Amino acid sequence: MRVIKFTKIRFIMIAVSVAVISGGLVATVARGGFNLGVDFQPGLSLRVAIDSPDAEIDAVRAAVAPIDGTQVQTVGAPDERQFVVRVRDAGEIEEFSSVMSERVVSTLESAFGAGRVSELESNYVGPRVSEELTRNTVLLISLAMGLILLYIWFRFRLGYAAASISALIHDVAFMLVFIGAFQIEVSTATIAAILTIIGYSLNDTIVIFDRVRENERVMRESAFDTIINASISQSLSRTLITSITTLLAVAAIYVFATGTVQLFALNLMVGVVVGTYSSVFIASPVLLGWRRASRRRRTKKESERRGTPVTARKLDDAKQAAPAAEIQVSEAEKARVIEEVRRKRAAASGRGSSRSKRKKK
């Protein structure tokens, strides 16, 4: 099996991630922040059925365009011609639910004919409910991160847990700036997609870390970056096959679905790619850095305890340099032995000459 040196380009890939996330954040701010749906912003969600052959999604959107803060999505079978019209509540209209419901229905009737619009369902989300939902969403994601940290800490070690959380934070940050930069509506389906990606990315990371833990016992004499590269290379085919299979299934949903389900599939496709990337180029380099930092700390403590000078040489580098050091020591020893033999021969020849001179006398 060929071992690919993924850790050689870890700084480049981390820099790419930082640049992309920073660019997405700037684009999100430039476009006015996140496109919050009615779930996270006060407003009215009205489900209507239009009995007209001209009632296509584009025509419905054009009809309600004069009403500020409207969004239209199709629901049900195409021949049923059912739509969900969402209108944001800016707090300027009293009795917003009843007033806006009548305005939307009358606007649609003026476009498609009187008596052709039927109101099937009406839901209003007030400011208190939207704030509570936003707070619960943040709490849910934070709780999920904390439980993941404890689980991996228990199953592996703290360094593995910190590396996994770093990759998950990267995935969530990338998803958020992607949603904000392209102004995708933030709804409960979006939060479900983010939580799904957290689980998917974590599964990829655990597969690689489990192989790292096994190789630590098998490759004891190898440097830790060599162990990581071997572990990623061994699990790479499994990771790629799983990701490609998942992408094919989610892409089919994106092509044939509409509305919220289509946006959910789009977020999943981006998340699968980002989750696979972070498992290889974010989690593993963080684990390598954590391991080297902890070994430097241990070396420093041992040096201070023994009273010897502290060196900044990494233990993994020392392992890799060990064969060369052995060669240098053996060459030096060989030169010392040769020099000692020469001195003995010179001393012996000197003693021999002095004895011959005494005999001649």
CATH code: domain of residue 172: 1.20.1640.10
Question: In the structure encoding, which two tokens stand for residue 87, read together?
Answer: 């209108």
pLDDT at residue 355, rounded to an integer: 47
87-96, 250-259, 272-281, 292-301: lowest mean pLDDT where? 87-96
Label residue 213 by pLDDT band (50, 70, 90): confident
CATH code: domain of residue 121: 3.30.70.3400
- The mean predicted confidence, pLDDT, of the chain is 80
**159 and 112 in one domain?**
no
Asked if 119 contacts 48 with a C-beta cutoff of 8 angstroms, the reply is yes
Positive/negative CA dihedral, 242, 244, 248, 250: positive
**282 and 212 in one domain?**
yes
Cα dist. 94→44, 67, 89, 97, 122 in Å? 13, 16, 10, 9, 17
Q: What does the alpha-carbon distance between residue 354 and residue 46 come to, in Å, rounded to a whole number?
A: 120
Cα dist. 343→181, 205, 337, 347 in Å? 79, 63, 10, 6
**137 and 263 in one domain?**
yes
Q: What does the alpha-carbon distance between residue 241 and residue 247 come to, in Å, rounded to a whole number?
A: 10
40-54, 120-134, 232-246, 324-338: lowest mean pLDDT where? 324-338
Q: What are the tens digits of pLDDT across the range 330-352? A: 555 556 656 766 776 666 665 54
Question: In the structure encoding, which two tokens stand for residue 271, read together?
Answer: 């998340």
Using the 3D structure, point to which of 125, 143, 168 is the last residue of a domain. Answer: 125
pLDDT at residue 20, rounded to an integer: 94
pLDDT at residue 122, rounded to an integer: 80
Q: Count structural domains, the chain.
A: 2
